[in-house]
A and B are shown apart, each in its own frame.
Chain A
Amino acid sequence: MEPVLEIKGLKTQFQSKGGLLTAVDGMDLSLGRGETLGLVGESGCGKSVTALSILQLLAKPAGRIAEGQILFEGRDLVKMSAPEIRRIRGNEISMIFQEPMTCLNPVYTVGFQIQEVLRKHRRMSKREAVTETVNMLGLVGIPEPVARIDDYPHQLSGGMRQRIMIAMALSCHPKIMIADEPTTALDVTIQAQILDLIGRLKEEIGMSVLLITHDLGVVAEICRQVVVMYAGKMVESAEVKELFVRPAHPYTIGLFKSLPKIGGKEGALNPIPGVVPSLLHLPSGCAFRDRCFKNKSRCMEEPALREIRPGHKVRCWEPES
C-alpha cells in the first residue's frame, strides 16, 4: 500500500523545569492510503505528542522536533513554513480531540464554526457553506441538521458535540484524520455509534485514519495496523490480528493480562508491577526492564526494533514468539 504519511526517526523534545525530556524518541511509522492505524499506550508514552508533531502544533517554545522527517505525500512537514503548514492543517490533515467541549468555541453557533472552515479552506460562498454544513451534519448522523446549525455547543450532548467535531474535521475531505482518544469521554453506547460512524465515513471518503487511544478494545474494533508505544518509543508494531493473537513484547503482553474482559476467565488479573518511569529518569537500556518479568543483564543495553515475523516488529531482546 502506498503510504500517504511517513514518519522517519521522529524525535520530539520538551524543555521542562527538570531538564530536557524526550517525549518521542526515534518514531518510525507509515500510514497507508485508506488505512486505519492505531497508536496505543498509557498516559505519557508520547502518543499524543506524535500527533501534535505531525501537525506542528507543539507548544512553542518548550517543545520542538529535534530530529526526523514527517513526509506527507513526499513533502516534509517539519521543514514547512507556517503559512504552508496552515494550508495542510485542517484541510488535508485534520484532527479530532478527546474533549469536544474544549475544542468548540462556546460563543459561536456550531453551524458558524463549520462554515468558517469551509469558507477558509474551500473558498465557498456563504450560501454554499450553509448547504454544505447541513450536508455534513446529516452525514455524521445529527437529526434535524437544519435546526441544529443555529445551536451553540452547550445546547448539545457530548456525543452530538463529538459528531460536530467530526463533521468539522471531515468538511474539507481530508486525506488523513488524526483522532486523539475520540471516544474516551463518551459513554459506551455513544462510543459504539461514533466508532461505527468513523468506520463508515472512512470507506465513503477514502481517507486514512490515525487513531490514538489507550483502549485496546477500540483498536480491535476498527484498526488494521497497530503500534504500541512505551516511554516515548515504539515497542511493537504489527497487524491487529497478529498482535492480539501473538503479542511479543513483554509490555504488550502485560497490557493484555491487565485487561478485564467481558466473559473472561475468573481469577486474579495479572497487572504489570511498578509504574511508568518518568521521562526525565528513564532507566538505561530498555525503558521497560524494571517492570519486565524477563529482565536479563542484556536488557541494560537498548534493544533495537527488529522484525520477528513478516510485518511484526518488536523492540526486545527476548520477544515471545
Chain B
Amino acid sequence: MTLAETILSAERLSKHYPLRGAGFSRRAGVVRAVEEVSLSVRKGEVFGLVGESGCGKSTLGRALLRLEEPTAGKVFFSGGNLGEFGKARLKQFRKEAQIIYQDPYSALNPRKQIRHLIEEPLAIHQVGTSKERRDRVAWLLKVVGLLPEQGPRYPHEFSGGQRQRIVIARALALNPQLLLADEPVSALDVSIQAQIINLLKELQAEFHLTYIFISHDLSVVEYIADRVAVMYLGRIVELGPKKEFYTEPVHPYSQALLSAAPNPDPTAKRQRIILTGDVPSPINPPPGCPFHPRCRERQDICSEELPLLKELVAGHAVACHLRG
C-alpha cells in the first residue's frame, strides 16, 4: 500500500467522565472511557474499530468528531487541529464529517416526512435553492435504494432496514468525506444486515468516502474494513491491516475475541479460548496491562507496567509485554 493521505488523526486522545457520588460525597471518581489513543485514518479507507461493550469505542468515535470535548489530547482533521477550529470552520467540518447510529428507530423524528428529514441538513447549511434541494433529496433516495415517491411518507411506514437507508441518505446529503458508522447494522436482521453492508460498500466506492466503522461484530468488520483496531478498557491494544489481523491476531485479547466469535460451521475444528471473568470497570482499571486479570499468559511485569502500543512489523502495532 502506498502512503495514503491522512484524513483524521488522534494524538494521545483521552476522554474521562467525572462520576458524581451518591449523597454528599463529591468526586467519587472518574470513568476513563478513552485513554491516550493515538491513531490515524487514511483517506478512502475503512477503519474498523472493534471491542466489547463499554470498551470506549463509541466514545472514541464521538471524541474524534468533537461531539465530545476530549479531556486531553488532540484530533487533526485534514491537517488542522479540530480543537482549535473556530465557529465557521467547525460548521464546515460538520458538513465534511457525518455519523450514522445503531438504532434507525430513534434516529429519525417520527413526526416528519422522510423527505424533510433528508433535506434538513441541506437547509441548515443553506445549500442550494429549495428546488435544488428537493431534487437532491429525490436523487439521494434513489442512491440508497428507495423510491423518490416514498419521500412524503413517515418513518413508521418503513422497516428497520429501510430506515437505516434513510439515515444513510441523510448522512450523505452534504457530500461528506468522512462517515462515522457506529454499529450501523447491529439492530438489523441477518438478511437485511447484508443488504445494508453491501450498500455501504457500494457508496464508499462511488463517492470515495472514508469510513470509521465501529462494531462489536468481528465478521462484519472483516467484511468491510481495510484496517482494524481492537479496543480494551479505553485503549487500543492492537492495530493492523485486516488480513494480518484476522489470520494472525497477536494480542492475547484479540486472539480470545476471534476464537469466541461463534462460527456458523458445525464441522469446523476449533480451539476456543474461553476467557474467565468480566471486563473490569473503567473506573478502577487494573494496574499495568488492563487485560492482565483475564490473560492466560500473564507474567509479573503485566501487573506492574503498562505496555505501550509498539509496531511489530510495519503497520501492525500491539500493546503487550509478551509480544515482539
Given contacts A193-B275, A261-B264, A262-B261, contact A214 B194 (CB under 8 A): no
Min distance, Cβ A209 to any Cβ of chain B, angstroms: 16
Query: Which of the residues A42, A240, A273 comes within 8 Å of B189, measured between beta carbons?
Result: A42
| Cβ–Cβ contact A42 & B191, under 8 A | yes
Selecting from B24-32, B65-73, B92-100, B219-227, the interface stretch reads B219-227
Selecting from B74-82, B116-124, B195-203, B309-317, the interface stretch reads B195-203
| Cβ–Cβ contact B194 & A262, under 8 A | no
Query: Which of the residues B197, B260, B278 comes within 8 Å of A160, measured between beta carbons?
Result: B278
Judged by a CB distance under 8 angstroms, whether A150 is at the interface is no
Q: Specify which chain A residues have a CB less than 8 angstroms from the CB of B279 in the assembled complex.
A: 157, 187
Min distance, Cβ B206 to any Cβ of chain A, angstroms: 14
| Cβ–Cβ contact A187 & B53, under 8 A | yes
Q: Specify which chain A residues have a CB less than 8 angstroms from the CB of B283 in the assembled complex.
A: none
Query: Which of the residues B193, B198, B218 comes within 8 Å of A262, measured between beta carbons?
Result: B218
Query: Which of the residues B223, B258, B267 comes within 8 Å of A245, measured between beta carbons?
Result: B267
Within the assembled complex, what's the spacing in Å between the Cα atoms of A191 and B247?
22
Within the assembled complex, what's the spacing in Å between the Cα atoms of A272 and B193?
10
Q: Specify which chain A residues have a CB less than 8 angstroms from the CB of B259 in the assembled complex.
A: 192
> Closest chain A residue to B221 by CB distance?
A260
Q: Specify which chain A residues have a CB less than 8 angstroms from the CB of B60 in the assembled complex.
A: none
Within the assembled complex, what's the spacing in Å between the Cα atoms of A262 and B265?
11
Min distance, Cβ B146 to any Cβ of chain A, angstroms: 12
| Cβ–Cβ contact A196 & B53, under 8 A | no
Q: Specify which chain A residues have a CB less than 8 angstroms from the CB of B264 in the assembled complex.
A: 216-217, 219-220, 244, 256, 259, 261
Judged by a CB distance under 8 angstroms, whether B274 is at the interface is yes
| Cβ–Cβ contact A264 & B219, under 8 A | yes
| Cβ–Cβ contact A220 & B197, under 8 A | no
Within the assembled complex, what's the spacing in Å between the Cα atoms of A271 and B260?
25
> Closest chain B residue to A218 by CB distance?
B262
Within the assembled complex, what's the spacing in Å between the Cα atoms of A158 and B179?
31
Q: Specify which chain A residues have a CB less than 8 angstroms from the CB of B303 in the assembled complex.
A: none
Q: Specify which chain A residues have a CB less than 8 angstroms from the CB of B274 in the assembled complex.
A: 189, 192-193, 196
| Cβ–Cβ contact B262 & A220, under 8 A | yes
Q: Specify which chain A residues have a CB less than 8 angstroms from the CB of B220 in the assembled complex.
A: 260
Within the assembled complex, what's the spacing in Å between the Cα atoms of A89 and B189?
30
Query: Which of the residues B159, B201, B257, B265 comes within 8 Å of A189, measured between beta carbons?
Result: B257
- Chain B 253-271: CB-based contact to A (< 8 A → 1; otherwise 0): 0001111111111111000
Within the assembled complex, what's the spacing in Å between the Cα atoms of A125 and B193?
51
From A42, A270, A275, name the one whose CB has the most chain B CB atoms within 10 angstroms.
A275
> Closest chain B residue to A269 by CB distance?
B194
- Chain B 93-128: CB-based contact to A (< 8 A → 1; otherwise 0): 000000000000000000000000000000000000
Judged by a CB distance under 8 angstroms, whether B272 is at the interface is yes
Q: Which residues between 261 and 308 of chain B lie within 8 Å of chain A, taking CB atoms? A: 261-268, 272, 274-279
Give residues in A with beta carbon < 8 Å to B: 42-43, 143, 157-160, 187-193, 195-196, 214-221, 240-241, 244-245, 254-264, 268-273, 275-276
Pairs A–B under 8 Å by Cβ, sample size 10:
A158-B53, A189-B256, A189-B260, A192-B275, A193-B276, A259-B190, A262-B263, A263-B222, A264-B223, A276-B189
Apart from A188-B257, A193-B276, what are 4 other A-B pairs with CB-CB below 8 Å?
A191-B262, A217-B263, A258-B193, A259-B194
